[in-house]
Structures are given as structure tokens and as C-alpha cells.
Amino acid sequence: MSRLLALIALFLPALALAQAEEPKYYVFEPSGAVSTLGIIYTLLMMGSFLYVGWLSKRRVASSDDYFAAGRSFGGLSNGLAMSSNYMSLATFLGFTALLWKMQYYVVALVMSFTGGFVLISIALAPALRRWGKYTSMQFIGERFGQTAKVVAVICMIFLAQLYLIGQMKGVGNVFQVMFHWDYTTGLVVGGLVVTAYVTIGGMYGLSYNQTLQAIIMLIALYVPATIILLKLGAGPASFFPPFGYGELVPQMNEVMASYFNPFLTVNGTVPMSFKFYFGVFFSIACGTMGLPHIAMRYFTAPSIRDAKMSTLWGTFFIGLVFFTTFAIGFAAKLYTVNELNAQGLQIQPKEADLLIVVMSQALTPGWIAAMPVAGALAAGFSTIAGLLMVIGTGLGSDIYSTINPNAADQSKIKMGYIFTALGGLATIGLALNPPDFLLTSVIWAFIVAASTFTPVLILGIWWKGANKPGAIAGLLVGGILSGILFFSKGKLGDFTLIDAGPIVHLVTGIFTMSAAWFTIVVISLLTGGEKNEKILREIDRIHGWQNYDPKRYSSNTFALVTAAFALALMVWSAIPDPTYAKKPEAPAAAATAPAADTATKAAADTAEAVKAATDTAADTATKAA
């Protein structure tokens, strides 16, 4: 082996020149076995989802059945459904690509995604379940009035579309790769399948299918991850991938020591500041609390205990998937550096999202290599279905009940069918010419959720002083600000709020959520707070109190302190971060050059040049990923 490496080293200068002048890109083509088995898995899944949806229709006898699955899903099944509802194509494919690109920084994302559920279990889940409606929009409507509910539904549709278009695009791309269809055909077929089974089966069909999809996702991720880690040199710990990748750390230290620098990412060329990490936790964890399709799952639990157990199981499965994904992203970086880059190949943006399939095809048997395809589609279908259901419920139950408060139960179910189907068809239409986002759109959905639903829900549950004018103003401020920043890519007029890095806009979540929180508190205090004693008594009830105490949860001092903190966060988030004033110099050769290339100094210098050229090209190529 040493002689072979020495021989290769003699040709490195020529390889370096060729690499610098004309980069070669890896092009993924599924093998015959992967393609055939992927098609079989896909057809079996789609048939199963439609059949489950059709069977579930038989159980729909009331609006409670259609919109809340009869409140009959226990902790484990609801936790599985909740986890698949939360984990999307952006998790299954886009997250691996982000890990490959951003390295250690993504640990903060993993912790924030799972940490959000801990906050939900403490701050929201028990109270929302005791309130006993179908959606968080209904809670807002009964707590703050019908106008607030209408504004909340509009915000929900906006963030749901941010989520949905990217997911539909991902489903279309997977069908395109596996069936060799054009994008439009793949999008329409996949979109119609998921729209059909959600519309037909309602929340029952959605819940049963999401439970099945969670199991498919876990198997499709866990099994290939274990074999990939074993093939790359990890030991028995690979059978639990979140630990198994640790045995590959020495290899990573040899080829890219900067991988583990928490304040340096993107191949060791872009700095990460404390503000960046704070923005990640703030936007993702708080955004998770506000996602309406996640909150909706608590209304399907039969009791408070089941709602809490749903959160516990959901957090466990979500953590397992995200940390397994981290192991795959880690392995992907090692594989591309040691295998693909060593062959003079680089990863293109469209291939980065397929890295788990690329590695599975290269390192596992065909029947296993096709699993990630099934897992990706299950992930896409589960999230799309959950979002379509919340759209159908928001329009078919929340808005329709406002327009026609005396509507019969069957009329509400019928409107649920109609609006769920229309939501699916509209999303397919929008995704025919989608903007260039998958993970980016999901991140902005979290920012919108954190800026609209989270402040209203927390203050509505924990502070009796929050009232209708404050809630409406907060929803409008959070929704409009996050919308402006989304369309202007982080800019307010000529003022750049923050502008650096591929997903740096997470920092804007600090600004927009703080602005909404500050607005709710200030407007509520200026307008005298909540005076409706029925609502005030209801707040005590949803916290489990048997008696009413007007002083409980009514401290204006608490509200003012949180408002002052929110104002300070707004100012701090808007101050340009000096970390991004200039990029640091590239890491020293000693930190990145492969140890095998130390046969001669000339060979080491050349290897450094190859690595630098590879990192630069890969960084440029994956900016759109």
C-alpha cells in the first residue's frame, strides 16, 4: 500500500493542475438493482398508503373523527406519527447534504430540532390538550377572538406553503430519478397520491399512515447507516450509528481537523459566532413550538398523560433519526474526501442531496441500497400529509365555522374534504415552477412559526394579561416582518439585518420573534389586558387548577421583564456581527493534508493544493443545495 501511495504521489502535480483547470463532477446513476427495487418499494408504499386511507374512511362518522381521529391515539403510536410528521424530505436528504457541507455546526441544528419538543412538553402540550380543540388556530380563536383566528390561519397557510413546496419538489425529484420521468410527471403523481389518501381518510388515515411511515423511515435510515459505518472502518458501535461514527473520528482528524471546530465551518472557511448558534436554537426550537401541524397531534391524544407520552416518544424517535442522520453526514464527508476526491471527482449540488443513496449504492447490497429511496418518499409524504391536513382543518373547520357557526357536523366534514384536496392541488401547481429551495424554505417556515404562533401560544397560555388587540398585533408584526425578510433575503429596505453564510437567516428569527413578543405585551398592557372572566377561568383550568384565582398567571411585572428582554434581543440581533467582517485564511496544510501523502514534502504540498481546490469547488457547487 505504501508503494502504491508513493507512486500516486509522483503524479499528484499533474492531477492538481488538471483539477484546478477542469473539475470533474461525480454523476449519480442508480444501478439496475437499486432502480428496480426502489420502484418496487415505492409502488408498494403508495398502494399501502392509499389502502390505509381508504380503510380509515370507514371510521369517519363525525367531525371529531375527521379532524382529530376520535382523540384515540395513545402515546407510542402518536409519538411515531408525530416524529414522521416532523421529519421531512429536508431531514432525510437535505440534512445529510447540509451536514456534508457545514460539518460540526449542524450539531446545533440537531440539538435544536429535538430540544423544541422538550419545550413543547413543558410549555404547550398539556394546556393545549386540556383546551380540547382540533388546531392551535382554534385555541387562538377562542382565547383571542375570531379576527385573531383568521389572521392565524393566514399565517398558517403562508408557513405551510413554505414547507409544502419544498417537499413536493423533493418528491418530484425522487420520482424523476427512480422512474426516469420528467419532473412534472413525478410531481403530479406523487402529489396526487398523498393528497388522495389524506383527503379520503382524514386524521385517521393520516395518523395510521404516519405511524407506518415513521417505521419505514427508521428502518430505511438505520440499516444502511450501520452497514456504511462498518464498511468505512467503524467497529461494533456501528450497530447504534449515533455512537458508531465516533470510531471514525481519528480518520476525520487526519483528513479534515477543522471538522470539529465549532466556530469554523464550510470546509474550515466560514466562521460561526455565538450569535449564529443562538439564532439557530431560537429559530428552530421556538419554531418547533409554533408549527401548527405538530400542535395538531396533541389534540388526537385521549388524555393529558397520552399527550405527554406522545411528546416523550416523539422526541426519542426524532432524536434517533437526527443523530443517525448526523452519523451519515459525517460518513458522507469522509467518503467524499477519501473516495470521490481521491478519484479527482467533486460533488455537484444535485448530487449532495442524494449522498445517502450514493453511499448506500457504493457500500451496501442492492436491496438495502434502495431503502433510502423508500425512506425519503415516506418522509416527504408524511410531512406533506400533515400540512395538508392542517390546511384542511384550518379552512374546513376554523374558517368555515366562523362563516357558518351553525353548520352541521357533516357539512364541516365535507368542507374538510374539499379544502384538503384544494390545498394539495394548489401546492402541486405552485411546485411546478418552484423557487430554488428545499431546506431553505423549511428553515424559513420555522422562522415564520417562531414569529407568529409561538409568542401568541406561550403568552396566551401563561399570561392572563394577553388580550385580543395584543395577539392580533403580534401575529401581524411577526408575520409581516418574517414575510418581508423572506422575500428580501434578510434585508429591511437598505438595511441588512444579517448577511453571511448559506443558512445564516436563522438569526433573523431572533429579531422577528422578539418583535412579535414585544408587540403582544406592550399592546395588551396599553389596552388594559384581558377582562373576560370566562377566558381567565379557562386559563386556570387548562393548567389543571380546580379553583379560580385572578392573581394566578397575571403578573404584569413578568410580562414587562420579558418585553424588555425581547427588545434587547431585537437590538442585539440587528447589530452586524463582526465575525463576518472578513473570512479567515484557509486552515494550515497540517490540519487538512492526508497523512498518507507525507512520503515527500513535494507530495504533501501538492496534496494540499488538491485539497484546497477540491474544497473551494465543492463549496461553490453546493451553495444552492
Name the grid cell of 323: 443523530
Concatenating the DSSP letter of every residue in 509-546 gives HHHHHHHHHHHHHHHHHHTT----HHHHHHHHHHTT-S
Mean pLDDT of 165-174: 81
**Torsion angle, alpha carbons of 309, 310, 313, 316, to 10:** -110
Do residues 300 and 72 touch, judged by C-beta distance below 8 A? yes
CATH number for the domain harbouring residue 390: 1.20.1730.10
- The range of the structural domain enclosing residue 198 comes to 2-51+66-250+292-447+588-621
- Over 50: is that where the pLDDT of 468 sits? yes
Say if 523 falls within a structural domain.
no
Q: Helices 95-102 & 106-123, crossing angle to 10 degrees?
A: 130
The percent helix, strand, coil of the chain (3-state, each to 5) is 80, 0, 20
pLDDT of amino acid 462: 94
**Amino acid 122: pLDDT:** 86
What mean pLDDT do residues 273-296 have? 85
What is the Cα–Cα distance from 288 to 86, expressed in whole angstroms? 9
Cα gap 622→624, rounded to integer Å: 5
Mean of pLDDT over the chain: 78
Using alpha carbons, select from 456, 577, 464 the residue that is nearest to residue 518.
456
CA-to-CA distance for 8 and 308, rounded, in angstroms?
A: 59
> 590 in helix, strand or coil?
helix
pLDDT grade for 30, boundaries at 50, 70 and 90 = low
Calculate what percentage of the chain has a pLDDT beyond 70: 79
Residue by residue, DSSP assigns 223-262 as HHHHHHHHHTT--GGGGSHHHHGGGGHHHHHHH-GGGG-T
> Could you count the other beta carbons within 10 Å of the beta carbon of residue 181?
15
Work out the average pLDDT over 306-323: 88
Contact predicate 615/605, CB 8 Å:
no
Task: For 439-453, write each residue's pLDDT tens digit.
Answer: 677 788 889 999 999
69-80 per-position pLDDT tens digit: 877 888 889 899
Least confident of 136-140, 276-280, 621-625: 621-625
User: Which of 92-96, 121-125, 521-525, 595-599 is the least confident region?
Assistant: 595-599
The grid coordinates listed for 181 are 420521468
Single out the residue of 224, 173, 171 nearest to residue 194, CA to CA. 171
Q: Give the residue, 239 or 522, on which the prediction is more confident.
A: 522
Q: Residue range 354-377: average pLDDT?
A: 82
What is the grid cell recorded at 489?
Answer: 433575503
Instruction: Report the percent of the chain where pLDDT is more than 90.
Output: 19
Strands 264-265 and 491-492: what pairing? unpaired
Position 419 in a domain: yes
Q: Which of 3, 368, 309 is nearest to 129 (CA)?
A: 309
Which pLDDT does position 190 carry in this prediction?
Answer: 86
Q: Exposed e or buried b for every residue in 540-560, given b needs 16+ CB within 10 A?
A: bebeeeeeeeeeebbeeeebe
CA distance 510 to 283: 7
Q: Which residue has the higher pLDDT, 275 or 474?
A: 474
Three-class DSSP category at 232: coil
In a domain, 181, yes or no: yes
| Low-confidence winner among 331-345, 512-526, 575-589 (lowest mean pLDDT) | 575-589
Q: Report helix, strand or coil for 188.
A: helix
562 within a domain of the structure (yes/no): no
Q: Are 169 and 431 in contact (CB under 8 A)?
A: yes
Residue 346's H or E segment, with its range, is strand 345-347
CA pair distance 153, 341, nearest whole angstrom = 48
| The pLDDT of residue 553 | 93
What integer pLDDT is reported at residue 521 of this predicted model? 97
Per-residue model confidence (pLDDT) at position 33: 61
Instruction: Please tell me whether residue 467 adopts helix, strand or coil conformation.
Output: coil
> Is residue 480, in this structure, part of any structural domain at all?
no
How does residue 457 score in pLDDT terms, banded at 50, 70 and 90? very high
What does the pLDDT read at residue 400?
79
pLDDT at 448: 92
Question: What is the count of structural domains for the chain?
Answer: 1
C-alpha cell at 581: 467582517
**pLDDT, tens digit (0-9, with 9 covering 90-100), for 537-581:** 999 999 989 899 999 999 999 899 999 999 999 988 887 766 654
pLDDT at 589 over 60: no
Report pLDDT for 404.
Answer: 80
C-alpha cell at 563: 418585553
Q: Is residue 269 part of a domain?
A: no
Q: What is the pLDDT of residue 569?
A: 92
User: What pLDDT is recorded for position 266?
Assistant: 52
**Ranked by mean pLDDT, which of 15-24, 254-263, 386-395 comes out on top?**
386-395
Res. 436 pLDDT band, cuts 50 70 90? low
| Separation CA 235–CA 58 (nearest Å) | 49
Q: Which grid cell is 409?
A: 357536523
Q: Binning pLDDT at 50, 70 and 90, where does residue 465 land?
A: very high
The whole-number pLDDT of residue 103 equals 72
pLDDT-derived band of residue 345, with 50, 70 and 90 as boundaries?
low
**Region 269-298: what's the mean pLDDT?**
82
Distance, in Å, from the CA atom of 359 to the CA atom of 369, rounded to the nearest integer, reads 8
pLDDT at 500 over 70: no
Residue 2 has a pLDDT of 47
> Looking at the domain assignment, is residue 359 inside a domain?
yes
What confidence category does residue 15 fall into, taking pLDDT thresholds of 50, 70 and 90? Answer: very low
Which phi and psi (to 5°) does residue 271 adopt?
-80, 150
pLDDT at 539: 93
Residue 110 lies in a domain: yes
81-106, pLDDT tens digit by residue? 998 888 877 777 777 777 777 777 77
